[in-house]
């Protein structure tokens, strides 16, 4: 059957249009696949960059933490050295002797302890020292272990002996936070190495030991900072 030329032309045109549409669809799909691969590559690169950045930040933070720790140790050693020199100096030696003598004269009767009602001037100076020491410990300037190794014995006995008078002062001045940082140290001291609260017998023994000479008292005081800890650590 002879086909009309117009019909043939229309048929060929339709085929060309179909082929063009298929080609366009294939090209579009190929471009879409290429774009998806490009996006995936970019995501991989971004994830890798993020990992590298995170590692860099972590390394920087670690470096800063090490530097901060060195500075903290340097500060702690300096403060502890100054406090120890003050505590073992002649002024505080006199404060300690006067405080214990006042307690013996007023609150030790026939070998029995009485509750103290008043904190004398020398004892108040000791209370202020330990209140400051407690504040520095509570705020993290000083490590509790170092403070308790040096002063734990005096803290346990001192607060236990004078606690009734401290409570009376709080009530009298309507100041529940009075000597709170000293009491904070006492709470740490009784838990440190399971020492517990001192008994009456232990307090009496502690008081009797304070009757020794100045030289004996200084020699029996808590050990001073070792020489290696008096020198601030270097950055090397």
For the stretch 165-184, pLDDT in tens is 999 999 999 999 999 999 99
**pLDDT at res. 194:** 87
Q: Is 62 within the bounds of a domain?
A: no
Q: Is 21 within the bounds of a domain?
A: no
Which of 12-16, 43-47, 218-222 has the weakest average pLDDT?
A: 218-222
**pLDDT at res. 5:** 61
Rounded average pLDDT over 206-225: 58
Going through the chain in order, the beta strands assigned E by DSSP cover: 108-109, 112-113
Q: Is 57 within the bounds of a domain?
A: no
Q: Is 118 within the bounds of a domain?
A: yes
Q: Is 38 within the bounds of a domain?
A: no
Q: Three-state DSSP class for 113?
A: strand
Q: Is 192 within the bounds of a domain?
A: yes
Would you say the pTM of this structure is higher than 0.75? no
74-119 pLDDT, tens per residue?
Answer: 888 899 999 999 999 999 999 999 998 999 999 999 889 999 999 9
Query: Domain tally for the chain?
Result: 1
Using DSSP bridges, classify how beta strands 112-113 and 108-109 pair: parallel, antiparallel or unpaired.
antiparallel
Q: How far is CA 34 from CA 20, 24, 30, 44, in A?
A: 21, 15, 6, 15
Determine the longest span between alpha carbons in the chain, in angstroms: 144
The mean of the pLDDT values for the chain is 80
Which of 12-26, 120-134, 152-166 has the weakest average pLDDT?
A: 12-26
Domain region containing 189: 70-230
Q: Is 143 within the bounds of a domain?
A: yes
Flag whether pLDDT at 223 surpasses 80. Answer: no
Q: Is 134 within the bounds of a domain?
A: yes
């Amino acid at each position: 059957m002879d086909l009309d030329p117009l019909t043939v032309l229309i048929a060929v045109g339709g085929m060309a249009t179909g082929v063009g549409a298929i080609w366009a669809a294939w090209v579009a799909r190929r471009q879409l696949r290429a774009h998806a691969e490009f996006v995936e590559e970019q995501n991989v690169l971004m994830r890798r960059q993020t990992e590298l950045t995170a590692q860099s930040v972590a390394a920087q933070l670690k470096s800063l933490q090490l530097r901060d720790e060195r500075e903290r140790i340097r500060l702690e050693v300096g403060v502890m050295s100054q406090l120890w020199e003050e505590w073992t100096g002649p002024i505080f030696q006199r404060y300690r002797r006067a405080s214990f003598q006042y307690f013996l004269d007023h609150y030790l009767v026939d070998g029995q302890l009485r509750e103290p009602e008043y904190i004398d001037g020398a004892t108040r100076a000791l209370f202020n020292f330990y209140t400051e020491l407690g504040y520095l410990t509570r705020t993290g300037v000083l490590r509790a272990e170092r403070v308790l190794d040096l002063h734990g014995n005096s803290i346990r006995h001192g607060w236990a002996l004078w606690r009734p008078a401290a409570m009376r002062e709080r009530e009298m001045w309507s100041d529940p936070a009075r000597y709170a940082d000293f009491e904070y140290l006492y709470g740490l001291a009784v838990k440190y190495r399971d020492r517990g609260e001192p008994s009456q017998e232990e307090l009496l023994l502690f008081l009797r030991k304070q009757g020794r000479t100045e030289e004996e008292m200084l020699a029996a005081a808590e050990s001073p900072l070792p020489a290696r800890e008096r020198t601030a650590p270097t950055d090397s």
